Amino acid sequence: MSDTGRAPRPHFRTIALIVGAAMFMEQLDGTVLATALPSMAHELGVSAPSLSIALTSYLISLAIFIPVSGRIADRFGARTVFRAAIIAFILGSIACASAPNVGFLVAARFFQGIGGALMLPVGRLVLMRSVEKRDLIQATSWVLIPAIVGPILGPPLGGFIVTYLNWRWIFYINVPIGILGVVLVSLFIANSRGEVPEKTDYSGIFLSSLSLGLLLFGFELASHDGQLKLALALLAVGGILGALYIRHAHKTVHPILDISLMKIPTYGTSVIAGAITRVTQGAHPYLLPLMMQLGFGLSAAQSGLMTFATALGSIAAKPVAAPLLRRFGFRDTLVVNGVFASAGYAVCGLFRPGWPMPVMFGIMILSGFFMSIQFTGYNTIAYDEIEQDRMGTATSFYTTFQQLMLSIGICAGAAALQGAMVARGHHAPQFTDFTAAFWTVALISLSATIWNRRFSHDAGTEISGHTPRTASLRQILRGSRGQSV
């Protein structure tokens, strides 16, 4: 790996917050937009459901460009691509705010998605290449805060903007954040590069992008009424193309999404366990505000303020994650903490109007606290055994799975809720239906315990500083034999 145009090495928190700010901008944008769709549809003269194509066009853009992001960063340099991604996101945001009609908005969202697709994995790549292993846990904790806060702040902020300003300001708020990001990236991020294969995997790009695009589009449509048949057709075709890509990747020397990375123990286990847990993470922001508004009768702004508790829990976990992993190691922490994280989301399904608001708020804080520690562990241990020349490919692969599973999570939450309603003959969701849905997705994340137990006891010791007792005993015995000799 080469490093051109090296900037002064900043503190790891500076790098983490720069990357986190970009992720915050991207995550906030999507959730704010969902809140403003009715107002946008009214001004543009279309129905709100038909405007959902603006959300879908962004997802399709992510599917096409996330797989190639690592390869692009290796060729042109992480700083160059990260900065260009932020600029593309800014320009796309301005175009969205200026959209005179739906067609223009859809095209602008697709262009904005190019910036978002590159920001997510390249931002993670910047973090992995710029931070020492001993600081990686704390740096990952700092990055996760903006990424989690963004989706939670989105609904109340979107409601405020639509009520008191205009929906176009939803996109304009990205401009000052993005400009600041461009300046900070230019000052503090090194332009690291990786080795690039001589032959570009065009067949792999075509198969993977089309497969992911159809899968994401299918999962998105599955949550809309009357779109089930089309959603299933898209999912079926996407699955077939995905299988063809896997076959292609096994025969290609340098595939665009390197499946052989899954053979690396810590990486493969983290991808699978993290993917299972992200189903619950994707469902939670869908189910909780819905229950607060339909069950408790809260406004969108009020439910947004309540669900902000999970963001507070995430912030509270920041100083705790590193000492916890140092004391108990990655394996034991992920196994035990994963149970608490799943249990916290399960308890949310028991909320009723008779519960005191401070108690529910406190439970949601704890849910965010435990889940934040869980993802800090997954996002850090995944790269423990990855060599620098494969870091770009690894981040693209990991981010692709992350985006896919979050989308599946929304679909899983909607399907669990709808299934509970059908089983009980309810035409509108009742509290018992929400309980069944929360428990279903909580069981999904709990099943990740099977994979968490597959981490070795000494996994990530260089990152966490944890010394397994078994290893210490082996060292003592080895030392004793040496002395006797």
What average pLDDT does the structure give for the chain?
Answer: 81
Helix axes 174-188, 78-97, angle to 10 degrees: 170
Domain spans of the chain, in order of start: 1-193, 202-257, 260-477
Closest of 361, 364, 333, 372 to residue 346, by C-alpha? 364
pTM score, two decimals?
Answer: 0.76
d(CA 343, CA 321): 19
d(CA 457, CA 37): 48
| Res. 60 pLDDT band, cuts 50 70 90 | confident
- Out of 3.40.50.10490, 2.40.50.140, 1.20.1250.20, 3.20.20.300, select the CATH number for domain 1-193: 1.20.1250.20
User: What is the arithmetic mean of pLDDT over 65-81?
Assistant: 83
What would the two tokens of residue 104 be? Answer: 């223009």
d(CA 446, CA 482): 45
pLDDT value at position 363? 93
Q: Which CATH class is domain 260-477?
A: mainly alpha
pLDDT value at position 469? 61
pLDDT value at position 472? 43
pLDDT value at position 482? 45
- For residue range 145-167, list pLDDT tens digits in order: 666 666 667 666 776 777 778 88
d(CA 219, CA 398): 19
DSSP line for 339-371: HHHHHHHHHHTT--TTS-HHHHHHHHHHHHHHH
- Using DSSP's 3-state secondary structure scheme, residue 193 falls into strand
pLDDT value at position 224? 65
What would the two tokens of residue 461 be? Answer: 């010791």
pLDDT value at position 5? 46
Task: Tell me if 1-193 shares its fold with 260-477.
Answer: yes
d(CA 354, CA 346): 18
pLDDT value at position 152? 65
